[in-house]
Every structure is written in structure tokens, then in C-alpha cells.
Amino acid sequence: MRRNIVAANWKMNKDVQESYDFTKSLSKKLLNLKRTHIILCPPFTSLFYISELLKNSSIALGGQNMHYEKSGAFTGEISASMLKSSGCDYVILGHSERRHVFNESNELIKKKIDTALSNDLKPIICVGEKLEERQSGKTSEVIRTQYSSAFIGISEQKINQCIIAYEPVWAIGTGITATPEQASEVQGVIRNLVSEQYNREIADSMPILYGGSVKSANAKSLIETENIDGFLVGGASLVVDHFFEIINVVEQFSIGQEK
């Protein structure tokens, strides 16, 4: 059975003290958490400090981005080994803000994914269509292109290190969530792409998260839907109680599944 995952993408929010306070408070609330895997992706500046706090905890840390080169004259960038040495096991790659605000191409994202995997960092690979692409019936095509570019050449050994997040661009930070049916349909397309490239068993074990205006009020209907294995949460991950409520929904669902 796939493990349910809830990841927090804080984006450019929270200084070191705020990150620390949040993490401390969340850790206390999660003491009895058994089924759901939690990943916090704070800004780079908070990573190392939080990692010290999380030393004996099951909460994992991820970066929000990285460069594909090992080191060198890339002002403002950070490398995979820097993330690793700051306590990260994960890195978000191909987030729509990276794609559309910072013009990252599929080719660039692919280089980052390969670098992450060869440095033992698990990439959370985001894919998603823009509103106009959905409206013109191009959703599956866009997802297929983003998927193919990201996964080409990834071996069967490495594929189980990857997490996919379906994040429709029109749902991110807008308060508009994809309906469970819309999300499930696209996530089914993604699972079939994994199955076509590898096999059904690998596809069935691949965690596919949904992201885009997830909150506690819509988390239940989404997590109960086929093909949704958890969430990548932006805005609602900034307030510890809100984030905890989402985790709780997923945890209760996971417990129910095991009965």
C-alpha cells in the first residue's frame, strides 16, 4: 500500500525564528502520528536550524529548489549537496512558480531532477496545466509533455525515489481547488504514464500528491478520491493549526484504510 504524504511548501515565508516556532509546535502535535509522512519545505535560510530540531523526529525536510551543477559561479544558487548537508532528504522541482515566474523550462527541470537523484535527494516533481490549457482541452497533453521530459532515462531503481505532485496552475494560491473528480482524472493519467514507462506495480506504488488551495475543508473529499495519495500544501501550511488539521484528515483516512 502507498504511504500517504503531506508536504508543506512555505515558499518565501517565515524567517528563522518563525520557522523554528512553527516546527516546534507542529512536532508536539504530531507525537502520535503513525501513518502519514510529513515533509516540511521551508526557505533555505531555515533549513539547517530546523534540521537540528528535527534530529530524532520522523518529520522530513525538503528544499524548494536547487541548481543542477555541483558548485561554481552561480550567484544566488544552491546545490544538491548543500541541501543534503542542511538536513534535506527531499527537494521540490518544477513547481509552477519556478516554471512560470522564473521561466524554468522542462529541460532545466530535467537536469535538476537527475542531479537530485544522483545526490540521493528525493525529488517532488510538480506538473500542472495553466487555465487556458485546461480550457482548450490540452490538460493531458501538457501533463504528458512535462512527465515525459522529467522521467526520461530514470531507471527502475531510481523511480521509487520520486514523488509526483499534480498542481493545476489555476488552483495554486487562488482559493479555487480542483474538484476531486478533476484531480483524480489527471492523477490517473499520470499513474498510467508511469505504468506505460515502467509497469503497473511501480505505478501503483508511486505517491502522487495533489496541490492547489488544499485546506482542511476540502482535504477529506480529495484524499478519499482514487489516485490522490496526499498533498503539497502552500498557504494552509503556514499556520500550524491549519496544517495540522490537514494532516489529521489524511491520518484518519490512512487509519481507516488499514482497518
Position of minimal CB gap to ligand PGA? 234
Of 95, 129, 133, 251, the active-site residue reads: 95
What residues have CB less than 8 Å from 55, skipping those under 6 apart? Answer: none
User: Shortest Cβ distance from residue 240 to ligand PGA (Å)?
Assistant: 15
Pairing of strands 60-63, 163-166: unpaired
Specify the residue, 133 or 198, whose C-beta has the smaller distance to ligand PGA. 133
User: Shortest Cβ distance from residue 167 to ligand PGA (Å)?
Assistant: 6
Of 104, 129, 167, 251, the active-site residue reads: 167
**Other Cβ atoms closer than 10 A to 15:** 11
CA distance 60 to 201: 25
**Is 167 one of the catalytic residues?**
yes
Binding site for ligand PGA (CB under 6 A): 9, 167, 172-173, 211-214, 232-236
User: Shortest Cβ distance from residue 137 to ligand PGA (Å)?
Assistant: 24
Specify the residue, 198 or 218, whose C-beta has the smaller distance to ligand PGA. 218
CB-neighbour burial class of residue 209 (10 A; exposed 0-12, middle 13-18, buried 19+):
buried
SS3 162: coil
**Is 100 one of the catalytic residues?**
no
Helix axes 106-118, 139-151, angle to 10 degrees: 40
Specify the residue, 133 or 167, whose C-beta has the smaller distance to ligand PGA. 167
Residues forming the active site: 95, 167
